[in-house]
Structure 1
Amino acid sequence: MSKGLVLITGVNGYIAAVAAKHFLDHGYSVRGTVRKQASVNDLVEGPLKEYANAGTITVVEVPDITVDGAFDEAVKDVTAIAHLASPVSFGFKDPAPILHAAVKGTKTILNSALLKAGPQLKTVVVMSSIASVKNMHDAPYTFTEKDWNDFAEHLCEEQGTETPGPVIYSASKAAGEKAFWQFREQKKPEFTMTSINPVFVIGPPLLAPKTVSAVGETIQSIWQVFSGVPDTQPLTMLPQAVDVRDVAQLLRYPVEHAEETNGERYIASASINHPQAIADILREELKEDTSALARIPEGTPGKGYSFDYQQIDDQGGFDVDSSKARKLLEGSQWIPYRQSVLDTAKAFAGLV
């Protein structure tokens, strides 16, 4: 017997695909949405084939998530919704369509949930981001769930198409999550509402990328070191990382503990991502592989990061408190950074 039917929007995405398998592995049925059916064929004919054959995962097309009523059919009979469909890139050029998609897509699925889902719907979880948390606070400072990004949207208004891509992405996540909580305040739905706010998400994709261009942006740093790109630079503004499998588990927790998590935000952050740490981990693991050792830059072993992967030299006085989310994990422990790096690198084996 299925534990319930979970709707996962944008199910062909990096996090969403891993989350879908996580829910299926834990006894749930999944209904995924995609813009085009063809984009999910490799998943349902590959790692999710067993579930597809059993009928426990089905996929529906929602070509445009910003159209009113777009999710009316998709939400019927579901017991939970995990909304992950939202534009993700650090190379955006124009904030207007990106913010529109993030905000309107959130409102659209919430309105469908309210009007069309039915009383069996218990909870809606939105995939937000640390980008909607981090603001311009002076260092030293530790960000928590009480913080909000209060600058990115204003910069988009001021700079328009000159706005840097990462700022547009941050603005879209902040605006989308604000719309989520405004809906809760204004509509007071019967279903519970929770947001998950991960930092940079690393860890193995459910489908190994077939081409270099298919490598996801948040795991680019691991790919660059693994493939031998020289002088890979650390991300000093957002160096924290968390494993995609932990994010999937955090998406499941509110479904099973709806009242406990109602109205709450949870920052997911496990470690600090640093190219020298990646190089050291890979070179140690692959020390018998002469071609890998020749390819992966040695750099300066041990330099720039702490032995427990919790600090880097140029962190800028900022930290992230993820203790609230960690308590929700089985064993109350994040997947270790070393394991995340190695498991991610395994997905690149066919690309070098």
Structure 2
Amino acid sequence: MSKGTVLISGLNGFIAAVTAKHLLDNGYNVRGTVRRSSSAAVLLEGPLKSYAESGALTVVEVPDITIPGAFDEAVKDVTAIAHLASPVSFGFTDPEPVIKAALDGTTVILNSALKAGSQLKSIIYLSSIVAIMSGNPAPYTYTEKDWNNWAEPTVAAKGKDTPGVVIYCASKAAAEKAFWKFREDNKPAFTQTSLNPVFVIGPPLVAPKTPSEIGETIHAIWNIFSGGSFPLEELTPGIGATVDVRDVAAQIEYAIAHPGETDGERYLSSAAVATAQSTADILREAFPEARGRIVEGTPGEGYKSDYTLLDVENKQASDGSKARKLLKGGAYIPHEKSVIDTAKSFAHLL
């Protein structure tokens, strides 16, 4: 018997596709939304084919998530909602449509949820570390108590001159604030939980067919694996922290399965700190045949052997201990495994 039906918005996204597979594997039915049905074909004809054929997975079109009522049909009879659809890029040039999509998409699905029926028990919102990063001077360790209080004012002051990464930060901060304001204003019968992961790496559910299909958050690993040069600094923007997409999926499932425990909670999901040098070292060790291609740099320099920076002076860090408790065994996937499995997903392109 199914554990219930989970609505996942943006099914064809990197995190959403992995989450769908995880939920299906663990006994849930999944209803996924996409802008166009054709965009789900690679999943329905590939790794999720058996679930689609059995009826455990269904797909519905929601062409524009910002239109009021857009999710009214999609939410019918679902027992949980994982709102994972949101624009993700660090190259945005115009803040208005990006913030509108993130903000309105969140409020629209929440308003539809009010019409879903009493069987709806929980909504999980995929926020981000950028909604937490408050710009506190280093050394500083971020927790769920922190809020981004600078990105939206920056957008208001600079408009289209705002850097793309700041636009993204503002969109996530605005949308999560709206998510919690909705809970305060409406006091819905269903529970609400947010997951705030750092830079998400790990293998995509569908291996990319070309380098251009490699997702933005794993593209840095591709650059190093394919022989690109690198600076000896954090591999990812901001605090350099990473978490595996499979752990994010498992944390979403935990929140769905334990609505009472996770109601009203934020979870900062953070497993390790990556640098370009640590990534090169991991890849050169795991793929000896690629050592002639992968830049050597200065092995072992600039990072800790356990991939943490929590006690390093003049660094900003993130505390993922609260979200770690949602995982089986209370442990994140080892960072080396995340990097290696990510590289395996595009090794065929070299």
- In 1: Cα distance, 2:88 partner to 2:184 partner: 26
Give 1:171's aligned residue.
170
Whether contact under 8 Å (2:227, 2:293) holds in the other structure is: yes
* Match runs of 1:328-343 below 5 Å: 328-343=326-341
Does 2:261 correspond to 1:260? yes
Following TM superposition, by how much is the alpha carbon of 1:314 offset from its aligned partner in structure 2, in angstroms?
Answer: 8.7
Asked if 2 retains the 8 angstrom alpha-carbon contact of 1:306 and 1:312, the reply is: no
Instruction: Name the TM-score, length of structure 1 as normaliser.
Output: 0.97
Instruction: Describe the SS at the equivalent of 2:58.
Output: strand
Q: Structure 1: which 5+ residue stretches go unaligned?
A: none
**Deviations 1:189-245 (CA, angstroms, capped at 9, x unpaired):** 000000000000000000011111111111111111100011255336230000000
1:103 and 1:196 map into 2 onto residues whose CA distance is: 16
Q: Distance in 2 between matches of 1:316 and 1:342?
A: 29
Give 1:22's aligned residue: 22
Q: How far, CA to CA, are the matches of 2:349 and 2:158 in structure 1?
A: 38
Q: What is the aligned counterpart of 1:327 among 316, 319, 325? A: 325
In 1: Cα distance, 2:141 partner to 2:297 partner: 30
Q: Alpha carbons of 1:315 and 1:32: their partners in 2 closer, same or farther (altered >3 Å)?
A: farther
Counterpart amino acid of 2:2?
S
Structure-2-length-normalised TM-score: 0.97
Q: How does 1:242-281 map to 2 (within 5 A)?
A: 242-281=243-282
Match of 1:220? 219
Which residue pairs with 2:83 in the alignment? 83
Task: Specify the code of the residue in structure 2 equivalent to 1:322.
Answer: G
Counterpart position of 1:61: 61
Change (3 A) 1:47 1:315: farther
Aligned equivalents of 1:100 and 1:182: distance in 2? 16
- Could you tell me how far 1:318 is from its partner in structure 2? 1.2
Q: 1:313 to 1:214 in 2, by over 3 A?
A: farther
Does the 8 A contact of 1:125 with 1:251 survive in 2? yes
CA drift at 1:316: 3.8
Q: Which amino acid aligns with 2:323?
A: A
- Output one character per residue of 1:254-289: Cα deviation in whole Å (capped at 9) or x when no partner: 1111011000000000000111111111111112x1
Equivalent residues of 1:6, 1:30 under 8 A apart: yes
Q: Secondary structure at the match of 2:114?
A: helix
The answer for unaligned runs of 5 or more in structure 2 is none
Whole-angstrom CA distance in 1 between matches of 2:262 and 2:313: 31
| 1:295 match: secondary structure | coil
For the Cα contact (< 8 Å) 1:304–1:313, is it kept in 2? no
1:26 to 1:68, Cα distance in 2 relative to 1, 3 A: same
Asked if 2 retains the 8 angstrom alpha-carbon contact of 1:5 and 1:30, the reply is yes
SS of residue in 2 equivalent to 1:325 = helix
Change (3 A) 1:98 1:314: farther
Aligned residues: 348
Distance 1:282 1:334 in 2: 20
Looking at structure 2, the residues matched to 257 and 210 of structure 1 have their Cα atoms a distance apart, in angstroms, of 37
1:313, distance to aligned residue in structure 2 (A): 11
- Contact 1:195/1:265 (8 A) holds in 2: yes
Identity of aligned residues (%): 60
Aligned 1:89-238 pairs, distance under 5 A? 89-115=89-115, 117-232=116-231, 234=234, 235=236, 237-238=238-239
Structure 1's 236 and 4: CA in aligned 2 closer, same or farther, altered over 3 A?
closer
Q: Which amino acid aligns with 1:31?
A: R
Which 4+ runs in 1 deviate beyond 3 A?
Answer: 312-316
Task: Give 3-state SS (helix, strand or coil) of 1:178's partner.
Answer: helix
One-letter code aligned to 1:16: A
Aligned partners of 2:141 and 2:310 also within 8 Å: no
Alignment partners' CA distance in 2, 1:269 and 1:130: 9
Q: Is the 8 A contact 1:242 1:269 kept in 2?
A: yes
Q: CA RMSD in A?
A: 1.3
Distance (whole Å) between structure 1 residues aligned to residue 300 and residue 220 of structure 2: 17
Distance 1:104 1:114, change over 3 A: same
Aligned-pair distance for 1:317?
2.2
1:177/1:74 Cα in 2 relative to 1: closer, same or farther (>3 Å)? same
Looking at structure 1, the residues matched to 136 and 300 of structure 2 have their Cα atoms a distance apart, in angstroms, of 30
* Contact 1:274/1:312 (<8 A) preserved: no
Mapped contact 2:139–2:313 kept (Cα < 8 A): no
